[in-house]
Amino acid sequence: MGDVLRSYLWQCANCKKCEVCDKAEGDNRMIFCDYCDRGWHLDCLHPPLSAAPEGKW
């Protein structure tokens, strides 16, 4: 799994986009994976989340 995670291109915080909708807007409603650093809007998840989960995600 480590090789797969390392294959993702790194992006600065201002350049990251949601993996579902491909938009960067609403970054205050976006969560980022602690392992691969990709992001998702809370509303784009299925089912949508009302708040970011606690702990590592």
CB atoms within 10 A of CB 24: 16
Calculate the average pLDDT of the chain. Answer: 84
Provide the strand spans (E) within 1-57.
Answer: 30-32, 39-41
pTM for the whole thing? 0.75
Question: Residue 2 burial by CB count (10 A; 0-12/13-18/19+): exposed, middle or buried?
Answer: exposed
One-letter amino acid at 8 equals: Y
pLDDT digits (tens, 9 = 90+) for 27-41: 789 999 888 888 999
Examine the pLDDT at 46 and tell me if it is beyond 90.
yes
Q: Where are the domains of the chain?
A: 2-44
CATH topology of domain 2-44: Herpes Virus-1 (3.30.40)
